[in-house]
Amino acid sequence: MTGDGAASYAARAALLEGALRSIGVDCAVEARDRLAVVVPQRAEDFTDPTRREAALRLATEHGFTHLALELVDLAGARRAGRDDGAALRRD
């Protein structure tokens, strides 16, 4: 989206992030049009089917049609000396 639409989805992402935190999911949320990209601090937050369903419901309630999880292995990156936050290594 461009213009006001992009700002609208950014605002929705911020609201969704707060809603997810209210159900115990410590995360960041990025908006890519109608896709909500959730970057949880702990992947374990999404192992419970009930919490996954709640996250999907919240994403829909906030105007998103899809939810994607971006799983970042920060501990593994630190052990390997690559603490750059990259979710996918391209080398």
Q: Contacts for 15-23 with beta carbons within 8 Å, 24 or more apart?
A: 15/62, 16/58, 16/59, 16/62, 16/64, 19/58, 19/61, 19/62, 20/55, 20/58, 23/51, 23/54, 23/55, 23/58
56-65 tens-digit pLDDT: 999 999 999 9
Residue 66 has pLDDT above 80, yes or no: yes
Task: Determine the Cα–Cα distance for residues 76 and 62; give it in Å rounded to an integer.
Answer: 33
Element (H, E) at 54: helix 49-61
**Predicted structure pTM score:** 0.75
Residue 31 lies in a domain: yes
Residue 88 has pLDDT above 90, yes or no: no
Output the domain CATH number for residue 36: 3.30.70
Structural domain total, the chain = 1
Residue 40 lies in a domain: yes
13-49 tens-digit pLDDT: 999 999 999 999 999 999 999 999 999 999 899 999 9
The identity of residue 55, as a single letter, is A
Residue 87 lies in a domain: no
